[in-house]
């Protein structure tokens, strides 16, 4: 099973604080970490840890951070043959503040990620002949995303688009991907509907279907996930959240996405795939950092076998 991720590769600067600062306020950090991240790289690592062949295409800078993230990706058994070193832009950097509840704020300086272009994508076309799925996110140019979607269509490879961070996106792209997987904030950006309850989540999902999206896999954080499909109309499936001790929510959505892709290719069932990915996302929030917090396949299976499904809570 081969999965290609085209997307961002960052280094994360993570500070742990008692609470998130107010505007203009200076507070002290309890700790400071430098950790490999980036939504594209996170998803590629999640795919690899779930046991699939993981290929990543993107850009890093010709700097110490670029070398660091590439070493880590290789260690994680991610194929980085198509990760280019850009000598005109630095490696992308995310500045992340995490509070005691595990909530975070993130500011991303895209750097080399925003120079990922059509020419880069042309180099991975041969991989699509035997690729099961392509993963995309919004931390690279929209024009590049459009090129990847067109190329995947040519080879009839399904695309899963994680529309984060929240950005405007042409409907022509949203309608052509097999799966759209936004979180609450990204859902609001796409639909104008604030997701604050299961009712509003369903309303937003219905609007996405009306906009032409084929399958919605909405990530709801501690409240689980909501699934909606153009094939089933107004019938939607809510997967409850899991009660865990949250330390840092960074990369939980990316871990969910990577796990969903692997599980869907194994089962062909969107509900079973999202259910499994829900466990992976929940486990990810129990550790600090992005790629450092993503569990392995064995860890997830052990987690499920110990009866954690009993801790699942439905959102009202």
CA atoms within 13 A on the CB side of 147: 17
**Does residue 249 lie in a domain region?**
yes
| pLDDT tens by residue, 72-90 | 999 999 999 999 999 999 9
| pLDDT tens by residue, 2-32 | 999 999 999 999 898 999 999 999 999 978 8
Taking alpha carbons only, the member of 76, 1, 7 closest to residue 41 is 7
pLDDT at 312: 61
**Does residue 120 lie in a domain region?**
no
**What residue numbers bound the domain in which 46 lies?**
2-112+130-313
pLDDT tier at 100, thresholds 50, 70, 90? confident
Number of domains forming the structure of the chain:
1
Alpha-carbon dihedral of residues 227, 230, 232, 236, nearest 10 degrees?
30
Residue 308 has pLDDT above 70, yes or no: no
For residue 311, the surrounding DSSP H or E stretch is none
pLDDT at 3: 98
**Does residue 80 lie in a domain region?**
yes
Average pLDDT (31-36) is 88
Percentage, residues of the chain above pLDDT 90: 74
Angstrom distances, CA of residue 32 to CA of 10, 26, 65, 94, 313: 16, 15, 16, 13, 33
| pLDDT tens by residue, 216-250 | 999 998 899 999 999 887 789 999 988 888 777 77
Q: Which is it for the CA torsion 168, 119, 61, 72, positive or negative?
A: positive
> What are residue 223's phi and psi, to 5 degrees?
-95, 10
pLDDT at 314: 65
What residues act catalytically?
A: 254
**Does residue 125 lie in a domain region?**
no
Q: What is the CATH number of the domain that holds 70?
A: 3.40.1190.20
Q: Under DSSP, is residue 250 helix (H, G, I), strand (E, B) or coil? A: coil
The rounded distance, in Å, linking the Cα atoms of 24 and 272 is 45
**Does residue 167 lie in a domain region?**
yes
């Amino acid at each position: 099973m081969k999965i290609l991720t085209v997307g961002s590769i960052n280094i994360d600067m993570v500070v742990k604080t008692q609470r998130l600062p107010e505007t203009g306020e200076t507070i002290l950090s309890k700790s400071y970490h430098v950790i490999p991240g980036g939504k594209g790289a996170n998803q590629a690592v999640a795919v690899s840890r779930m046991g699939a062949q993981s290929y990543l295409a993107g850009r890093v800078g010709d700097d110490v951070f670029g070398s660091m993230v590439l070493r880590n990706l290789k260690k994680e058994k991610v194929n980085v043959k198509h990760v280019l070193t850009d000598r005109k832009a630095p490696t992308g950097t995310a500045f992340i503040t995490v509070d005691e509840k595990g909530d975070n704020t993130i500011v991303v300086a895209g750097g080399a990620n925003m120079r990922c272009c059509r020419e880069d994508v042309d180099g991975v076309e041969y991989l699509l002949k035997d690729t099961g799925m392509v993963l995309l996110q919004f931390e690279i140019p929209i024009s590049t995303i459009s090129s990847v979607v067109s190329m995947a269509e040519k080879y009839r490879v399904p695309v899963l688009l994680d529309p984060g961070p929240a950005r405007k996106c042409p409907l022509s792209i949203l309608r052509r991907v097999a799966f759209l997987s936004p979180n609450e904030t990204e859902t609001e950006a796409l639909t104008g509907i604030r997701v604050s309850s299961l009712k509003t989540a369903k309303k937003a999902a219905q609007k996405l279907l009306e906009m032409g999206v084929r399958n919605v896999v909405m990530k709801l954080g501690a409240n689980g996930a909501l699934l909606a499909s153009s094939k089933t109309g107004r019938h939607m499936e809510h997967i409850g959240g899991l009660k865990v001790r949250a330390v840092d929510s960074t990369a939980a959505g990316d871990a969910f996405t990577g796990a969903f892709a692997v599980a869907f290719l194994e089962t062909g069932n969107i509900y079973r795939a999202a259910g499994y990915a829900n466990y992976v996302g929940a486990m990810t929030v129990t550790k600090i950092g992005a790629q450092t917090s993503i569990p392995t396949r064995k860890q997830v299976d052990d987690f499920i076998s110990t009866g954690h499904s009993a801790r699942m809570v439905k959102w009202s």
